[in-house]
Chains A and B, each alone.
Chain A
């Protein structure tokens, strides 16, 4: 099993550009989520999904879109990048959406917006 994979590892964008961060898991997990990690702020939930076709907003969803057409994939789209979106982004998955199972994290994508 590859676990949770994320691409790219690093990305530099100019303000106003759009891009998609890819996330895939091969564990047939029901729950997938996106977080951003900023110094001193821990991990903040952006969006999550409890199954294919079902997504919902987390704590900081503005400026991001998600979709989940398959169980395996959960891409995060930045619509119009802003310097405030400079961060490290982590995708995670969990066997169950009921909160009782651990989350498995990808290696992260470091995004810089200039």
Chain B
């Protein structure tokens, strides 16, 4: 089966610019996650979708970050405006219903904000 797809793989922007990331989960996976991984740290959950509804976005900086999962499949994560501290790898993951913690990760998007 095809894995989780993400694009772009790399992005360099200047602070105050906007950027968007795209994720296509594994077919049939109901749950989709966006993580932020800053260098030297573990992945930190930003937002979790169940189908097209938000389950948890408690750690999403909502003043600048937004995410949507239209039709319960693909998802986009947007940052507007970006700050220097947003430089990180953004990981998308998906899991089937009742996965008990087994998540499948995409390759990630490495964002550099200058």
Bind each other: no
**Using a CB–CB distance below 8 Å, which chain A residues touch chain B?**
none
**Using a CB–CB distance below 8 Å, which chain B residues touch chain A?**
none
